[in-house]
Structure 1
Amino acid sequence: MPENKFENFIFTVIMAFIMVYAMICYNISLNIGGMRDAVFGMAFGELRIMWPVAIVLEMFVMEKPVMYLTGRVISDNMPPFLILLIRCSLTVCLMCPAMSLVATILFKDFHEAGFIGVWLQTAAMNFPMALAWQIFFGGPLGRLIFRKLFRKKS
């Protein structure tokens, strides 16, 4: 998809927004006992902080390990869809615990229960949602937006 550093940056910005916004909405819903219309507006407070964090974390920390791990798992004869699925899954495997760590530090009350316990619970609650959102909704939406922005003229 992205063919140069600029396109890679734009793709990361798009995907980070889609993933972070959805995950913030999910976590707020967990905290208040269910999804409400107000959650969509409430999420923008945390989004101002977590979106840039996700962009920096993905571009400067996680991108190389994800590409390395993807290269270790794929083979030459794999279908492109399977390669994409593996890369998306590995991205979630690395980003979810890292973003949950940041969210625990910034937004969770961990003093009573303990930091590690709250972080692990946060990551465990976020992982299934992040993986499903990435594979079935956020990833396809992000790639669609990217393709519309960078449609190649034939």
Structure 2
Amino acid sequence: MKCPYCSDPDSKVVNSRPSDDGASIRRRRECLNCARRFTTYERAQLEPLMVVKRSGPREAFNPDKLLRGLSLATEKRPVEPEALRAFAYGFEDEVGAAEIASEEIGKRAMTFLRPLDDVAYIRFASVYRDFDSLERFIEEIRGLKDREE
């Protein structure tokens, strides 16, 4: 590991310990040239979750994109931003597969929003399901109401 102070390529590990609940390793290093100490972190680099779009192409899953959609749906609603962030950034770990269809992401997001807030659920559903008529929109709202009773 190159020293950040003198750029010498040689250093030794003085101490190692788990960090981030075992997701990474924190290492204290000492430069063999200038004797200054610095910290490095090591974490596993996993293959990204790939999203299969409706039109066919694949792209890497981006939790910021999911969070943006959830945030728009819950704007000015009594939903904690931390809950949205936890869902979006924990999504990749929950999937447990190498690929997922974009439709499945939408379904899981709707399942997540449904118990949190009906208005946010309908907002997200209106974009995700791309309602083509007022009747279809009203039908979804009636379905929500029927599930409450």
More strand by percentage: 2
Report the structure number with the largest CA radius of gyration: 2
More helix by share: 1
